[in-house]
Every structure is written in C-alpha cells, then in structure tokens.
Structure 1
Amino acid sequence: MSQKTITIMTPCYNEEENVLNVYNQVREVMVGIGKYEYEHLFIDNSSQDNTVAILKMIAADDPNVKIIVNSRNFGHIRSPIHALFQSRGDCVISIVADLQDPPPMIADMIREWENGAYCVLGIKRTSEENSLMFWLRKQYYRLAERLSSIETIQNYTGFGLYDRKVVELVRSFDDPYPYFRGMIAEIGLPTVKLLYDQPARKFGITKNNWYTLYDIGMLGIINHSKVPLRLATFAGFLGAGLSFVIALGYLLAKLLFWSTFTVGVAPMIIGLFFIQSLMLVFLGIMGEYVGAIYTQLQHRPYAVELTRVNFESGFGYPKPNPVALNGITSGNPLVVAATTNIASPS
C-alpha cells in the first residue's frame, strides 16, 4: 500500500511578512509527524509586494513547496477554490498565510483524519480580533443558521482538513462562485470539530474590507436560503393588509367627524417614503439572487494562472532544518528587497 500524501494549501495576497513564517511552522509540524509525504501549495493572488519573490526563494530550496501565481487578483473566493482543485494529496489542509489559523493544529487534524473523519474543522472559540467584529461575526453566523435550509457550521472560517472524497464532491457542485463553508455543511460527511482561540494578526494588515465581508456574508445566505425572497412576499401581503386597515380607519373617522377631521399631508408623505424604502430593500435582495444566477450562467474560470513553480516535482518528506532568507528565520518579520521576473506560461 502506497504512503498517503497531504497537501497544505495557503492562499496569499501581499503577505511578504508572513509567508516564510507560515512555511517554516507548517514544515516543523510535518517534520514532527514524520510519516507523510506532503506538498505546501501557495496560491498568490497577484501580490503587489515581494510575496512571490520570497515564495520562489523558498521553493528553490524546498521542492515540496508549490506555487501558483495568478495573472490578476481573482478575489477571496475564486482563488482559494482554484488551489483546492489543483491539490494532489489524499487530503487537503487549508490554512491562511497570516497565522491566525494556528499551524500546530495540523497534527490534531491529521490524527482525526487517521481515525476516519472526512472533515476536521477548526472552530473559533474566542478571538483576539476587535471585540465588536467578533460579536458581529457571531451574530451573522446565528442569522445564517436561522435562515438556512441546512444546519450550518458556526464560527468556522474554512480552516480545516478535507479528505480527497470531500474535495471531489466540492468539485462536483460545479459552482463558479462557491460558498465553500456552505458546501461542507451541505455534504454532511462525518466531521470532527476542533475548538481553538484565534490569535491576532502580528504582521501586515488584513485584506478583507466591509465589501468583501458583505460579499461572502450575502453569498452564504442566498446560496442556502429562500427566506429573504419569501420575506418580500410576506411583507407585500402585510403592507397591503395594513394599508387597507388604515384606509378604512381614515374613512370611518372622516364619516364620523366630517367637519373636524382632516387627513393632512404628513401621513401620506411618511407612508409613501416607508413603502418606497421597503420596495428598494427587497428589490436589492432580489437583485442579489439575480446576480447569483448571472454568475452561474457566465461560468468563468476560477482563476487564470500566470505561472507555476515546482509542479514537475512530486511529493517528499519535509527537511529537518528551517529555511532562512538573508539570515532571517521564521521568528521575525521578513521583507526581502528583491524583484522577480515572472515568465509567461508556455
């Protein structure tokens, strides 16, 4: 029986201060385990700093490091899923480059996989991020849970181990703009959840903003729920009934107090603005669903690759010594003043 193989997958964008650190920490864990051949696949989303140059220096020393460089920034959803489908291991472990997913948990995940789990998911118990943001995220997860037609996974960001069977099932969805976390919940294979305390980012700044958070948040709702659409219908019926009752009340008041009761303009203006704002909200919700359908019909590729590095080499065992560039090891932030010419794909 051939030895099982493992792919560690790390998406990155402008992470020059972190990629060496995450590489060395992952390698240290794999050295400690010792019995698996592995590859560490970095997919770079067209970074504007020295991330690619640093990755190429690491890859030159370690053939287990594979690199995909995208031709442009394909976003925080399409690029990672492209890397997932390029992985070759019997299982894939997704871990972010900013070290907010703790690499030592990889050993625990592999142990649970050995015991028969198809998915081993990292679940945030606490976080050192901004307390308001952590609270808002928890409220979103609860809202998504209530709206969803399936049981979703709370406080789960994608950090986890996925058996090859799970990867192929995700591929079978054939979704050009996938909500990966929802797919894992949809598949429903035996899953183990490991709790962890998320550390704060030490180096660099987050690449997420309010728009990207809204994008993935709305995607998570519309992909697994028809409730927002039905709320629009219910609100229409409720508004029609309420309007009828108010109109009847005004009619009775006018008949009973003909000479003293005046309707006035203010209630009409307030009611008009309320109805119009309600219509715009639900028009926006319907637009999200239409946009999702439009994306499905376009069916564009997840990413276009500019170049690949080390894919001609196979799997191997990790080296025992850490990689150091310019005398700097993984314990410190690293900025390499280097440029690299990225060749066009042949």
Structure 2
Amino acid sequence: MSKTISIVTPVFNEQDNVVELCSRIATVMTGTGYEYEHILIDNASTDRTLEILRGIAAKDVRVKVIVNTRNFGYIRSSFHAILQASGDAVVLIAADLQDPPEMIPQFIAKWEEGYKTIMAVKPASEESPFMFHLRRLYYRMISRISDVPLVQNATGSGLYDRFIIDVLRKIDDPYPYFRGLVCEVGFKIATVPFHQPRRNRGSSSQNLYLLYDTAMLGVTKHSKVPVRLMTMLGFLVSIVSMAISLGYFGVKLLFWSWFECGLAPILIGISFFGGIQMLFLGLIGEYLGSIQTHVTKMPHVIEAERVNFGSEHL
C-alpha cells in the first residue's frame, strides 16, 4: 500500500497565486509516485481566492478546502490545518510561491532516509536586504537564548512525519511557535537550503505587527532568559544606583559649599529608570499574554465550511 503525503497551505487573499500553486504541486506530486491530498485553509479572504479554490476542488478531489469564519491569523490557521491532515507525512508550503513547491521531492528524499523532520532554510533571499538581515539577526538571537536548539533561517516550510504531528496534537498548544515546537520534540532535523525568490504577485499579509508577534512568540514560548536577565539587571542597577547615591552624598558632605548636583543627573536617572521599567513591564506582559492565551484553551479556528472532506464536512 503506497504512502500518502498531505500538503498543507494557508491562504489569505492569494487569488493571483492559488491556480499556479495547485498546478505546480500536482505536477510535482505526480512525479513522486506518492498519493497526496492538498489541504488549503482559507483565512476569510476578501478577494476571489475562495471562489477560485472551489473551482479547483470541483475538478480535483485531492484538493480540499477549509474555510474559516474569520481571519484567525497565519499561526493558528496553518497549525489547525496541519492537525487535520491524514497523510503519513505532512508538507507545509506557503501560498506565495516564495518557498517553491519543487522542493517537495527533496523533502521526501530526506524523509525516506529516515528523518522525521525536514525544514526549508534560506541562506539567501531576494527580499529587501534590511528585512533579510533583520531576520538573520533574530534567528541568531533566538537560537542563543532558546532552551532547545532552533534551526536558523527556517521558513516554516518543510515535511513532518506523522509521528511528529501526533506528538504536536497531544501538546495541544492553542498558539504555537511551530518552528520551535518541532524542535522541542527532539528528533534530528534535516534541512533543505534554497534561494528564496522575490514575491511576484500579490502582497504579503505579514505586516510589521504580525512579524513582531511571531518574533515575541518565539521568545516567550522557548526561552526564560529575558525574565532572568530582568532579575540580574535589576539587581545590578540597584547596586550601581546605590553606589552612585553614596558617592554623591559623600562628595556633598566633603564639599558642601560649592558642590551642586543639579537637575541633569536627576532627569537622566528618572528617564533611564523609567525606560528600564517600561521595558521590563513590556516583557512581563508578553509572558503573561502567552500564559493567558494558553489557559483560555480557545480553538485554533472556527470552521465555516469544508470542501472535499466527505463525511467530515461541517
């Protein structure tokens, strides 16, 4: 009995890309000899994406569509779709074609070698140099402070064995940092490097706020270092402040008549300590927000409709 590969693609306003995406995936998978299903989860697109997907699914039963009631975000939507896959392995691939579907045979080859997790990494990219280097800096930082080794420059695309998916299902994280979560499982990870092309059609839904959200998710989910740095830095600042205060007090006693502290050091001290406090409160807030999201146990998404899932549709 041949194995089945589940391809998972989250989409939002990708009307210019979904036809080519599905066509290229069909061509690639036909060449592999594996059975496959292609699950596309639509995050309440406002363009013609859903209409086009319905047309594709009507002609190809291997194309399955999940329609969300609203935009639940890339993280929750893609993770939910991964958990709905029925294949022996799951391939996560983006809809914007920046992670080319032609990498899938390389993922499968690594899987056949025995790897349970294979991730695409981009040592080079045609995106703006500023964003590329900013991402690299973040990956290096999170790799250094993370409790487990993370794969640097991973895009999230890759292949994940059914065993990995079953483990993730048991973890039941309502808002996971997926690239970190698969590293937490502990199996050796294979990588497939590629040169990421520029996005040719449409515009990315990943604005600065969403990128920040993902970045902070990686920190709060996989590292206690910032919290511990707050404690150590607070202790150090207290000692330095006490030393400076005693120094000023001693100098004032020795040179009472002509030594004046002035307003400058007071204002500088207030601004410095105010900034430190706001930074620490912000970091604590991020951790509390992560805990609050986890304990509320909200579902990843609410589905409005399923297409080509047979008896599983709502």
TM over 0.5: yes
Aligned to 1:32: 31
Aligned to 1:294: 292
Aligned to 2:275: 277
Aligned to 1:66: 64
- 1:240 & 1:125 partners in 2: Cα distance? 43
Aligned to 1:10: 9
Aligned to 1:255: 253
CA RMSD of aligned residues (A): 1.3
Q: Which ranges of structure 2 fall in alignment gaps of 5 or more residues?
A: none
- 1:128 & 1:271 partners in 2: Cα distance? 44
Aligned to 1:81: 79
- 1:290 & 1:120 partners in 2: Cα distance? 32
Mapped pair 1:164 → 2:142: no
Quote the offset at 1:121 in angstroms: 1.0
Quote the offset at 1:313 in angstroms: 8.5
Greater mean deviation of Cα atoms: 46-55 or 234-243: 234-243
Q: What is the TM-score of this pair, normalised by structure 1? A: 0.89
- 2:113 & 2:151 partners in 1: Cα distance? 21
Aligned to 1:92: 90
Aligned to 2:191: 193
Residue in structure 1 matching 2:305, options 304, 307, 314: 307
- 2:266 & 2:230 partners in 1: Cα distance? 22
Aligned to 1:319: none
Which AA in structure 1 matches 2:234? G
Greater mean deviation of Cα atoms: 82-91 or 263-272: 263-272
1:72-95 deviation per Cα after TM superposition (whole angstroms, max 9, x unaligned): 000111000000011110000000
Greater mean deviation of Cα atoms: 253-262 or 36-45: 253-262
Higher helix share: 2
Quote the offset at 1:238 in angstroms: 1.1
- 1:74 & 1:137 partners in 2: Cα distance? 24
Which AA in structure 2 matches 1:81? F
- 1:313 & 1:66 partners in 2: Cα distance? 13
| Structural mapping, 1:145-160, within 5 Å | 145-160=143-158
Quote the offset at 1:255 in angstroms: 2.0
- 1:265 & 1:24 partners in 2: Cα distance? 69
Kept in 2: contact 1:16–1:50 (CA 8 A): yes
Q: Which has the higher contact order (CA 8 A, sep 6+)?
A: 1
Which AA in structure 2 matches 1:23? C
Kept in 2: contact 1:70–1:305 (CA 8 A): yes
| Structural mapping, 1:207-246, within 5 Å | 207-246=205-244
Quote the offset at 1:190 in angstroms: 2.9
Kept in 2: contact 1:123–1:193 (CA 8 A): yes
- 2:285 & 2:58 partners in 1: Cα distance? 48
Residue in structure 2 matching 1:54, options 34, 38, 52: 52
- 1:77 & 1:157 partners in 2: Cα distance? 13
- 2:85 & 2:123 partners in 1: Cα distance? 29
- 1:294 & 1:62 partners in 2: Cα distance? 41
- 1:161 & 1:30 partners in 2: Cα distance? 14
Which AA in structure 2 matches 1:292? S
Aligned to 1:339: none
- 2:50 & 2:240 partners in 1: Cα distance? 60
Change (3 A) 1:305 1:154: same
- 1:64 & 1:44 partners in 2: Cα distance? 16
Mapped pair 1:266 → 2:264: yes
Aligned to 1:180: 178
**Moved beyond 3 Å, runs of 4+:** none
Which AA in structure 2 matches 1:103? P
- 2:309 & 2:235 partners in 1: Cα distance? 59
- 1:247 & 1:109 partners in 2: Cα distance? 61
- 1:192 & 1:313 partners in 2: Cα distance? 36
- 1:60 & 1:313 partners in 2: Cα distance? 16
Q: Which ranges of structure 1 fall in alignment gaps of 5 or more residues?
A: 315-344
- Percent of paired sites with the same residue: 49
Kept in 2: contact 1:63–1:313 (CA 8 A): no
1:308-340 deviation per Cα after TM superposition (whole angstroms, max 9, x unaligned): 1111189xxxxxxxxxxxxxxxxxxxxxxxxxx
Quote the offset at 1:43 in angstroms: 0.4
Q: Secondary structure at the match of 2:173?
A: coil
